[in-house]
Amino acid sequence: MRHTRYVIVGLSFLVVLWLPVASTRAQQAVIVAGKSEYHKSCAVCHGSDGKGRGAMATLLKVKPANLTRLSANHDGIFPFWDVYRIIDGRKEIGGHGSGDMPVWGTVFKQEAGADLGADLSAHARILEIVYYLESIQAAPRGKP
């Protein structure tokens, strides 16, 4: 019986140690998926480093934004849901309706087909991209 107690304590300890590892892995998987989505759909305009110098940038009337400065432009806080809504594009957003950026919510939904899951799939792809963008934000000025 004494051994059982040690085994339980030992196992609980392992679970506690493993949890942060598991959540870091999940986070990495989402960001990696977002990175590949970004390279497929966004890099042509915003550049592979997100700084707005993609191959198509010179052809556009309105220059693609530097996506590594989203936090810096918002007092150091990543504007998560604003970014989400800009990418989705299905809701009107003042200033972003120039027509130079595709409406990704509609594109992703069309790619997924017409069933109920299409909307969810589009939401998931947008979320992955937003998490990826959050991960590439430039450090605030004055910090390394």
Residues of this chain that interact with ligand HEC (CB under 6 A) are 41-42, 44-46, 56, 60, 62, 64-65, 67, 70, 83, 86-87, 95-96, 98, 100-102, 104, 129
Tell me the closest approach of the beta carbon of residue 74 to ligand HEC, in angstroms. Answer: 9
Tell me the closest approach of the beta carbon of residue 80 to ligand HEC, in angstroms. Answer: 11
Identify which of residues 19 and 56 has a Cβ nearer to ligand HEC in the complex. Answer: 56
Tell me the closest approach of the beta carbon of residue 57 to ligand HEC, in angstroms. Answer: 8
Tell me the closest approach of the beta carbon of residue 35 to ligand HEC, in angstroms. Answer: 11
Identify which of residues 35 and 46 has a Cβ nearer to ligand HEC in the complex. Answer: 46
Cα dihedral sign, 64-82-106-93: negative
In three state form, how does the secondary structure of 46-104 look? HCCCCCCCCCCHHHCCCCCCCCCCCCHHHCCCCCHHHHHHHHHCCCCCCCCCCCCCCCH
Identify which of residues 12 and 73 has a Cβ nearer to ligand HEC in the complex. Answer: 73
Query: How far are the Cα atoms of 16, 53, 95, 101 from residue 44, in angstroms, in the given order?
Result: 43, 8, 21, 11
Identify which of residues 6 and 81 has a Cβ nearer to ligand HEC in the complex. Answer: 81
| 96: number of Cβ within 10 Å | 16
Cα gap 121→45, rounded to integer Å: 23
| 11: number of Cβ within 10 Å | 10
Tell me the closest approach of the beta carbon of residue 92 to ligand HEC, in angstroms. Answer: 13
Identify which of residues 20 and 95 has a Cβ nearer to ligand HEC in the complex. Answer: 95
